[in-house]
Amino acid sequence: MARPVRKAIFPVGGLGTRFLPATKAMPKEMLPIVDKPLIQYAVEEARAAGVEEFIFVTGRGKSAIEDHFDHSYELRDVLSSRGKSAELSLLEEMLLEPGQVAYIRQQEPLGLGHAVWCARHLVRDEPVAVLLADDLVMADVACLQQMVDAHGKVGGNMAAVMDVPLAHTQRYGILDVIDDDGRLARARGLVEKPKPEDAPSTLSIIGRYILDPAVFEELGRRETGAGGEIQLTDAMARTIDRVPFHGFRFAGTRFDCGNKAGFLEANIAFALQREDLGEVTQSILQRYAASAPAAPKTAAK
Ligand code: UTP
């Protein structure tokens, strides 16, 4: 039995260049899906999976995230004086317990692996979850909860995985699989962003991980990989002989909200699920579908 996962890291130190100018003065992780910021979805997912300590690895210009998870006295006073009790309880419910939250600065955005390594002293010697807020998963059972259940049986390093089209392997960390039961795929190696012709499979890592503390030692070597960044995938690959790695096929739908098309799709999918917005969203979509102009020639990035 693996040790329980009590801590989670939220790396939010990236620059979010694909969302400029929206992200010039606002963190990418504060972009809302309908009316809730991406980072709040990630925190709620971790909470649902039993996480008790929330570690944010932040960077320059990310203070809105700290404010978001803080008390807002002025707002509370205004809402209560206006009798807005539903909004008040919405704000109360999202607050984390005092002492449950820590913020660490990543002084330079040197890559996801580096961001995770910045949290090493807060994690110490226990397994830790990592959630990338721009990967949003819609699921009946929280994606991280599904992973925690599976991790309890196999331990080691684990990442949520999904099959992607061969042409997309250059966007992901890809598994070289030795054993696959349809749910858990054990890997003998991992390759970060391979060209389709070099990809050992199409099984791709998305932004949910459970890490064995051995990964921190490996990240401490500060070796750079694809894009000149310190890559988390490379560190897990280098420990694979002593720490088993499993890809976990989660049940649910993942939206890549780090790119514009994925972000738009997530907004539509989440709005369609809402009691207050589902119907109106459907009629908007029907209206646009009926009078859709020809798609512009340049594809959205
Ligand atoms: P991305 O590859 O999406 O990079 O990072 P980015 O800088 O956020 O966005 P673009 O590509 O410029 O538009 C994946 C995740 O890793 C975090 C990001 O915040 C995001 O959650 N990250 C990345 C860091 O925390 N630090 C880094 O140095 C790099």
Report the separation in Å between the CA atom of 63 and the middle of ligand 1, taken as the mean of its atom positions. 16
Q: Tokens 């997912």 sit at which residue?
A: 45
Helices (H) and strands (E) in the chain, counts: 11, 13
Structure token digits, residue 193: 């962003």
**Residue in this structure with the two tokens 């002492």, named with its chain if needed:** 99
CA dihedral 203, 42, 126, 186 (to 10 degrees): -10
Contact yes or no for 259/301 (Cβ under 8 A): yes
Give the Cα separation of 219 and 231 in Å (integer): 8
Terminal C-alpha separation, the chain: 43
Question: Residue 39: what are its φ and ψ, rounded to 5°?
Answer: -65, -30
- pLDDT of amino acid 227: 85
The span from the CA of 204 to the CA of 288, in Å, is: 33
- Name which CATH class applies to 7-258: alpha beta
Tell me if 173 CB under 6 Å of ligand 1. Answer: no
Residue-level pLDDT, tens digit, the chain, 301 residues:
788 999 999 999 888 899 999 999 999 999 999 999 999 999 999 999 999 999 999 988 888 999 999 888 888 899 999 989 888 998 888 888 889 999 999 999 899 999 999 999 999 999 999 999 999 999 999 999 999 999 999 999 999 999 999 999 999 999 999 999 999 999 999 999 999 999 999 999 999 999 999 999 999 998 888 888 999 999 999 999 999 999 999 999 999 999 999 999 999 999 999 999 999 999 999 999 988 776 666 654 4
Query: How far is 201 from 116, CA to CA, in rounded Å?
Result: 26
Listed by start position, the domains of the chain span 7-258
Going from the Cα of 83 to the center of ligand 1, the distance in angstroms, rounded, reads 40
**How many A from CA of 92 to the centre of ligand 1?**
29
Torsion, Cα of 209, 60, 55, 73 (10° steps): -130
Pocket of ligand 1 contains residue 39 by CB under 6 Å: no
Give me the amino acid identity at 84.
K
